[in-house]
Amino acid sequence: MSQSRATKRRPQQDAPDRPARLLAWYDRHRRTLPWRAKAGERADPYRVWLSEIMLQQTTVRAVGPYFEKFVARWPDVTLLGRASLDDVLRMWAGLGYYSRARNLHACAVAVTGDHGGVFPDTEEGLRALPGIGPYTAAAIAAIAFDRRTMPVDGNIERVVTRLYAIEEALPQAKPLIKEMATTLLGPARAGDSAQALMDIGATICTPKKPACALCPLNDDCAGRIRGDQETFPRKAPKKSGVLRRGAAFVVTRGGELLVRSRPEKGLLGGMTEVPGSQWQAGLEDAAALAQAPELKGVGRWHRKAGVVTHVFTHFPLELVVYSASVASRTRAPDGMRWVPVETLDGEAFPNVMRKVIAHGLDL
Ligand code: SF4
């Protein structure tokens, strides 16, 4: 069959006992996760929501310690809604994609102020909150409120495209994947069905070498029967962003470092950084150096050997790092401030800045 004909063919839903098989498997093999309710217990919407926001574009392993820290400090949404944004950003530092932390805080404020500290229990109500898109709304509705809906994350996409051998490439295939994933829901326990698929995707139907022998869906998995299951999901070729270049300036005054806050809106909004140039494709070193902060007593910048590299979702970045030290009374330029080096861990630096500082201070 040609690719175009295969693309148009709709997968068959021909195994009505799949939902029951899925739930039976989940009851025996479910993962234990810090945010997950124990078998038979009701899920806490706050924990489900917090984990789903943290897990966006981040692994379960990376999220675990952050989740524990957050619920220890803010055990419910009302307490988080009363926290300052700065505190939330500080606790979030290192998890990346900082707009999520800002939305997390805005959402907690909205739930606390507009909903009396109680999350809405429908997809529609959840989607009206800051930072909650279609996937997160479906995940919370299914897992916390047992609404009959299927949230489709990357793991579920992989399982479903293999199960039905969906030839259409991502992202165009998303509506079809959602439709087919929904056929795996039984009459009840939507949240458990979704979590079963998530677990199968994470532990059995892995990107490479899926352990099909252990899979409760293996009898009638189209990908396994064809023998090309690893080739799903099909993906459209990736466009990689253009390399941007820039300079960062690591300035010390005794035991203090010169920093500033990024603008509230945009990439890494509100996060802390050392002063730097713009990040532009093809930026020459001399043009980047010309954007150094004006500081009394800096005659010459010392260029550190090598560069710091970082990859954002839509572009790679290369930063040249310059260092200087200034006299103890030197004033910070407008919009900048000195912070003690020993308290840097508590500052809301994004990962790229932590790399820059480590490079600049030879840590
Ligand atoms: S049988 Fe294999 S390919 Fe099919 S869903 Fe299960 S693990 Fe994935």
Q: Whose CA is nearest to atom 1 of ligand 1?
A: 218
Residue 61 CB neighbours (<10 A): 7
User: Average pLDDT, stretch 234-242?
Assistant: 82
Alpha-carbon span 322 to 359, nearest angstrom: 10
Taking the centre of ligand 1 as the mean of its atom positions, its distance from the CA of residue 326, in whole angstroms, is 61
For the ranges 94-108, 140-154, 169-183, the lowest mean pLDDT is seen at: 94-108
Q: Which of 160, 166, 212 gets mutated to test ligand 1 (max ligand atoms within 8 A of its CB)?
A: 212
Q: Which two tokens stand for residue 62?
A: 């990376």
Average pLDDT on 239-267 reads: 92
- SS3 state at 227: coil
Determine the pLDDT at residue 260: 96
Smallest CA-to-CA distance from 101 within 65, 70, 140 is with 70
Pocket test for ligand 1, best of 215, 219, 232 (most atoms within 8 A of CB): 215
Q: Which CATH architecture has domain 3-231?
A: Orthogonal Bundle (1.10)
Q: Which of 162, 180, 225 to mutate to test the pocket of ligand 1 (most atoms within 8 A of CB)?
A: 162
Query: How far from the centroid of its chain's Cα atoms is residue 313's Cα?
Result: 11
**Centre of ligand 1 from the C-alpha of residue 55, in Å:** 23
Which has the minimum average pLDDT: 4-18, 93-107, 292-306? 4-18
What was the pLDDT predicted at 28?
96
Amino acid in the structure at residue 46 = Y
- Work out which ligand 1 atom sits closest to the CA atom of 232: 3
- Rounded distance between C-alpha atoms, residue 301 and residue 315, angstroms: 27
Q: Is 338 or 12 the better-scoring residue by pLDDT?
A: 338
* Residues at CB less than 6 angstroms from ligand 1: 159, 162-163, 204-205, 210, 212, 215, 217-218, 221, 223-224, 229
Question: Which residue puts its alpha carbon closest to atom 8 of ligand 1?
Answer: 205
179 tagged catalytic: no
Angle between helices 99-114 and 45-55 (to 10 degrees): 160
Model confidence pTM above 0.95? no
* Strand bridging mode 316-325 / 244-253: parallel
83 or 38: which leads in pLDDT: 83
CA-nearest of 152, 99, 132 to 262 is 99
Identify the active-site residue in 41, 52, 230, 294. Answer: 52
> Residue 2 — very low, low, confident or very high, per pLDDT cuts 50/70/90?
very low
Which ligand 1 atom is nearest residue 211's CA? 7
Ligand 1 centroid – CA 230 distance (Å):
9
Q: Copy the structure tokens of residue 292.
A: 């150094």
Q: What is the mean pLDDT of residues 162-184?
A: 94
DSSP 40-61: TSPPPHHHHHHHHHHHTTS-HH
Whether the bond into 151 is cis, omega within 30 of 0 = no
Give dist(CA 18, CA 6) in Å, integer. 24
What element of type H or E holds 258?
strand 256-261
Q: How far apart are CA 98 and CA 91, in angstroms?
A: 11
Other CB atoms closer than 10 Å to residue 360's CB: what's the count? 23
In angstroms, what is the span from residue 199 Cα to ligand 1's centroid? 12
Ligand 1 atom, smallest distance to 204 CA:
7
Closest ligand 1 atom, residue 216 Cα: 6
Q: Which two tokens stand for residue 202?
A: 């994470």
Give the ligand 1 atom nearest the CA of 217.
6
pLDDT score recorded for residue 10: 62
Q: CATH classification of 244-360, choosing from 3.40.50.920, 3.30.390.30, 3.40.720.10, 3.90.79.10?
A: 3.90.79.10
Q: Please name which of 115, 39, 44 lies closest in space to residue 76, comparing C-alpha atoms.
A: 44
Q: How far is the CA of 204 from the centre of ligand 1 (A)?
A: 7
Question: Residue written as tokens 């039976």?
Answer: 24
Averaged pLDDT of the chain: 92
Phi then psi for 141, rounded to 5 degrees? -60, -40
Could you tell me what percentage of the chain is helix, strand and coil, using 3-state DSSP and rounding each to the nearest 5? Answer: 45, 10, 45
Q: What is the pLDDT of residues 114-147, one digit of tens each?
A: 999 999 999 999 999 999 999 999 999 999 999 9
Question: pLDDT tens digits, residue range 319-342?
Answer: 999 999 999 989 999 999 999 999
**Residues whose CB is less than 8 angstroms from the CB of residue 114 and which lie 6 or more positions away in sequence, other chains included:** none
Share above pLDDT 70 across residues of the chain, in percent, rounded to a whole number: 96
- Domain boundaries in the chain? 3-231, 244-360
Distance of CA 206 from the midpoint of ligand 1 (Å): 9
Cβ within 8 Å of residue 12, ≥6 positions away: 164
